[in-house]
Each structure stands twice: as structure tokens, then as C-alpha cells.
Amino acid sequence: MFTCTGCALLCEDIEAIVENNRIKEIRNACRRGAARMKGCMNRLVPSIAQKPADIESSIKKAAQILRNAKSPMLFGFDNSTSEAQIKGIQLARKINAIIDDTSSFCQGILIENILHKKLRTCSLDDIRNKADVLVYWGSDAQDSQPRHLSRFSYFPRGESRQRGYEEDRLAIAIDVRESNTAKICKGHFYRIPLKGDREFILALMEALSGKAPAYDTKNMLGLASILKKAQFGGIFVGIGLTYSIKNDFEILTALADMLPKFNIMPMVGHYNMRGFNEVLFKETGFVNRVRFEGNGVQDNKYAIIEALKNKSIDALVVVGSDPVLSLPRIVIPHLASIPVVCIDPCQTFTSGIATVNIPSAASGVESSGSAVRMDGKVIGLKKILENNYLSDEDIMKRLMEAV
């Protein structure tokens, strides 16, 4: 059995049918996971200034870029093993670089609150064994973490939930659209206006405290009644909720305080984003947006969006991420104007503009290691295919030697 790196559920029941050292078939994974494990059509090749080069020269050139930079940033690592993340942080420390990852504009704020123990949480195994009320909030697990409902939350039998979804579990969706997850939560889908989460939470808190809220009174009282009766609940916080309350995140803490039987569960996309947050947190006390000047210092100005917008970085190393695809196009011109080193198994939009490209092994398929599941559990990744690619960890070590 192998571990899927399609998302941060890190499903450990994957079978790979290998023929001639190529993956012929992936079993048990979802569409996303199977596609990821089978690999991309366009492998990255080493290059300097978009001209083919050998790996050694590419690593040397990358090190030279880092040596010459006054304010370099290392970005990504959410699709790398925890071992590679540790090396990446050591490299950032050695060269006094900024280090950031996609959690900076994703679920970082939520994970930070969880690591600071401001929010009660539990393991996905606890959810499977005990949970009777499930709230998918701003989260379309069916499309983003497709086996969440079938492996852990809604459909499976658990120790205290022997009748699974038919009798023992109730699923609720709160969202701005009727997602595929909301469709499953038949009769318990609460549609809210865009950015309406705060108002919804305030009304729900009123209803939980026994008052009749002005906002959607009947539905709110009904929902409060379901939540109060729960024996063991999970609120699965998607990016929709996180974005909506990002300027007033304490409101989620306040709601959680009124729901002592509920656990706040982060829904994470990239397979080891939580791992990056945890590793950096252990090293510095911060989950992202850190600059090393001796000790790590966190500041919003070290978020990749701000750094590009303010043109405050003069070199960028991207590891297993594609910021040219995922960031607002309006901040890309600065990225395209500075030397970029792209480390990835596949060609990406970022590799297309990078000064140096260094191909890496696809972790979990071509290299081993460990990663942190979205609930914090450490999961092993086992290599499936023999290959000559350097792992992200190897590349970080080599860069550290060469800078």
C-alpha cells in the first residue's frame, strides 16, 4: 500500500500497478489523487536561462543567484516531504532569506490558531469513530478532498457510529453555492450570501444562547437545536469560511466556545501544507511569512503577495508550487522581472519564466519521506518507482552546500 499525495487526506490505502517501472494503474485513489500519482505529461528538464543544462550547472547557478541576492525568498514546499521542508528552512536560515508558502493566502491563519490551541480539534479517526454531526462550512470536500466523506466523516461506520450516514450521522453544509458536498447534505444546506459568514455566525450564536435572531430566525433556531444535541461534532472549515472571516477570525473562536462538543477541522488542499506550518512553527513559533535575520521574524510584508506587490524581493526559489498559475496576475510582473529558480517534477507556468529549472523526484512516487495529514497526524510516504531524480530534500542539501 502506498500513500496518495493528491491532497492533505494522505490516503494510505493506495495500490499501484507497476509495469516496466511505470505506473500503469492506481487503485483506490480519487480522480485527483490518481492523476497526481500517475504523474504529469511534461517533466521538467534542467535549464539555465531557458536553455538545457545539466543538473550540476543548474544547482551551481541557483546557488549563485541566492548568493547575489540581497533579499531572496524561498516559496512553496507544500508538495514536499517534511524532511525537505526542514532542509528548506535551514537553507532560508543560512542565507537570511524570507520563507513563505501557499498557506500564506490559504488556510495558514486557521492552522496558526489550531497550533496555538485557540481552537479545539481532534483526529480524523475520532471523527470516523465518534462524530454524529458534521458541518462542512465553506468547504466542498467532494471536489477538493474527495475521499473525506467516504473515509472519515459521513459514510463510514465507526466505533460509536455503527449505522454510518443512514442513521448515525447528520451532515450540514453552509456555503454560498450548492456544491457537490451541499447536495449530499440534503435538507441541511444553508445558503449564505457572499461574505455572509460573519452575520450567519453572529445569528447562530444568538440562537445558541436561546435568543431568536433577526436573521433567518426559523432556520437558525433549527440549526442551533441540531448543534446543541450533538454528542461529538466536527466543523470542517474550508477556504470559503477562512477567506470570509479573515479580518475577524476570533469570531470562529467565539462560536467554537459555545459549541463544547464540536471540533474545528481544517480542510487542506496541498498534501503537506500543514507539515510546512508545523515544521516552521516548531522552528520559529510562526506558520509562514518568516524572514530569518538570525532568528525568524514574522511580518505580513513577508507574505508572497505583499513581497511581489512591494517589489521587496530580488530572487525567488519556488519548490513544488506554481505561483504564476495561482497568484493574481497583477502581481506576476515583479516575479517575472527577478531571477526565479523553479524546483518541481513537472513543467509549470512558473518554470516557463524561471532563470533556472531543477527537476525533482515526485514525492510519494519517486521519493520517500513523511508528511502531516490535515488533522496533524504524521503519515509515511513510500517510493513506488526507482529513478535518478534528486528529491527536494537532496536539492535543498546541495543548495546549502553550494551557497
Partner 1 sequence: MGIDIGKFLKNPEFEILITTYRDIFQVEALEKDRFGEEYMKLSAVISLSKNDLQKMGFKPGDRVKLSNNYGSVVVEVKESKKNEPGGLAFMINSPWANSLISDETDGKGIPEFKHVKAKISLSKEQITPIVVLIGTFYK
Binding footprint of partner 1 on the chain (CB under 8 A): 6, 30-32, 34-36, 38, 40-42, 49-50, 104-105, 109, 140, 142-144, 146, 176-179, 183, 191, 194-195, 239-240, 243-244, 246-247, 269, 289, 300-301, 303-306, 309, 322, 324-333, 335-336, 347-349, 352-353
Candidates 128, 118, 153; CA nearest to 139 is: 153
d(CA 145, CA 281): 24
Helix axes 250-258, 197-208, angle to 10 degrees: 30
Candidates 111, 116, 115, 152; CA nearest to 242 is: 111
d(CA 45, CA 68): 24
Distance (Å) of CA 167 to CA 126, 149, 155, 161, 265: 18, 15, 10, 9, 23
- In angstroms, give the least distance from the CB of 71 to partner 1: 17
Nearer of residues 53 and 131 to partner 1, judged by Cβ: 53
Nearer of residues 161 and 270 to partner 1, judged by Cβ: 270
Question: What is the β-pairing status of strands 98-100 and 290-293?
Answer: antiparallel
- In angstroms, give the least distance from the CB of 109 to partner 1: 8
Nearer of residues 263 and 350 to partner 1, judged by Cβ: 350
- In angstroms, give the least distance from the CB of 160 to partner 1: 30
C-alpha cell, 94: 543560512
- In angstroms, give the least distance from the CB of 75 to partner 1: 12
d(CA 369, CA 129): 28
Backbone CA torsion sign across 246, 247, 249, 251: negative
Nearer of residues 132 and 197 to partner 1, judged by Cβ: 197
Distance (Å) of CA 342 to CA 40, 214, 355, 357: 16, 53, 8, 5
- In angstroms, give the least distance from the CB of 348 to partner 1: 7
- In angstroms, give the least distance from the CB of 261 to partner 1: 29
d(CA 126, CA 376): 12
Q: Where are the alpha helices (H) located in 159-289, listed in sequence order?
A: 164-167, 180-184, 197-208, 217-229, 239-244, 250-258, 273-284
d(CA 205, CA 197): 12
Nearer of residues 51 and 166 to partner 1, judged by Cβ: 51
Nearer of residues 47 and 368 to partner 1, judged by Cβ: 47
d(CA 165, CA 154): 6
Nearer of residues 212 and 349 to partner 1, judged by Cβ: 349
- In angstroms, give the least distance from the CB of 345 to partner 1: 11
- In angstroms, give the least distance from the CB of 94 to partner 1: 25
Nearer of residues 327 and 361 to partner 1, judged by Cβ: 327
Nearer of residues 51 and 210 to partner 1, judged by Cβ: 51
Does an H or E element contain 66, and which? helix 55-68
